[in-house]
Amino acid sequence: MEMYFCPLFSGSSGNALFCQCGSTRLLIDAGKTGKCIGDALAGIGVDPASLDGILITHEHSDHILGAGVLARRYHLPLYATQETWRAMTGKIGKISGELIRTVQAGKDFFLGDLGVQPFSIPHDAADPVGYRLWGGNISISTATDLGCFPENVYAAIRGSTLVLLESNHDPDLLRANPTYSAALKSRILGDHGHLSNEACASALLRLIAGGTAHVILGHLSGENNTPTLARRVSETALLREGIRPGNDVQLRVALRDETGDVYTLRRDGGTI
Ligand SMILES: [Zn+2]
Ligand SMILES: [Zn+2]
């Protein structure tokens, strides 16, 4: 069995990640307009009507902006925790009862050919989760919008074949940003805010030691980070430990407004 994964968009201006296993296709989050996401899917040869559902991580608009439109237009079930449903109702328009699915951190389920494992993440939302998706013995985990990297997150995603992890900001750039209020800065820097480049890099070291072979840096801030800087911080940390990016681990950066590569992960260990 093969798994396909593509970060359509990742960043504080909108998130949507595509994943396929067997004949099952889904999105994690739909935080751009329905049209924008539909166009991006078409760009990788996927008809939005062929999706089997959308997994929602939390109710912030950069994760749900197009969720209601896509669900209604293509009759797609939306999956979210009960508290996330409560918080996003009113923001995504009317969703008919038959498209409402409730998930719970720690409760695994199957969505077609994909095993889905939601896990709690520390973020200032009602009940935010990340997802680990299983196709046979291959797994893909996404963890963005987390202020720190606690043990429960590590335990949930350890050993994943591919991890998309938040590398949101450079703390110095953020602190020096004149357009951000003190309150916003402390929110982002807090334990329930967003993961810095440095915190991302140290989490990656643990994940790679646990067998993760593919890493994507995601949810970059547009103002307090650059793809080059995020990559440099992680690569420097890896090299310091004798891990060679490109050889021992594949490391890429998901861009905010540009659809990324489509990853193909195979059970025999072959990739891309
Ligand atoms: Zn976000
Ligand atoms: Zn958020």
CA of 11 from ligand 1 middle (Å) equals: 7
What distances in angstroms separate CA 191 from CA 124, 194, 195, 206, one per listed residue? 9, 8, 9, 19
Tens of pLDDT, residue by residue over 136-150, are: 899 999 999 999 999
Closest-approaching ligand to the CA atom of 59: 2
Contact 115, 1 (CB under 8 A): no
> What's phi and psi for 251, nearest 5 deg?
-125, 125
Q: How confident is the model at residue 107 (pLDDT cuts 50, 70, 90)?
A: very high
Question: Where are any strands of DSSP class E within 121-223?
Answer: 129-135, 138-143, 162-166, 214-218
pLDDT at 98: 97
Tens of pLDDT, residue by residue over 10-49, are: 998 999 999 999 999 999 999 999 999 999 999 999 999 9
Q: How confident is the model at residue 193 (pLDDT cuts 50, 70, 90)?
A: very high
Could you give the CA distance from residue 93 to residue 77 in angstroms, rounded to a whole number? 14
Query: How does DSSP classify residue 97?
Result: G
Tens of pLDDT, residue by residue over 210-252, are: 999 999 999 999 999 999 999 999 999 999 999 999 999 999 9
Closest-approaching ligand to the CA atom of 9: 1
pLDDT at 271: 54
Closest-approaching ligand to the CA atom of 12: 1
CA of 243 from ligand 1 middle (Å) equals: 29
Supply the mean pLDDT for the chain.
95
Could you give the CA distance from residue 140 to residue 158 in angstroms, rounded to a whole number? 10
Select from 16, 220, 191, 17 the least CA-distant residue to 121: 191
For residue 134, give the amino acid letter.
W
pLDDT at 272 over 50: no
CA of 264 from ligand 1 middle (Å) equals: 25
Residue 90: Cβ-neighbour burial (10 angstroms; 0-12, 13-18, 19+): exposed
pLDDT at 269: 53
Could you give the CA distance from residue 226 to residue 174 in angstroms, rounded to a whole number? 12
CA of 57 from ligand 2 middle (Å) equals: 9
What structural domains does the chain harbor? Answer: 2-266 (3.60.15.10)
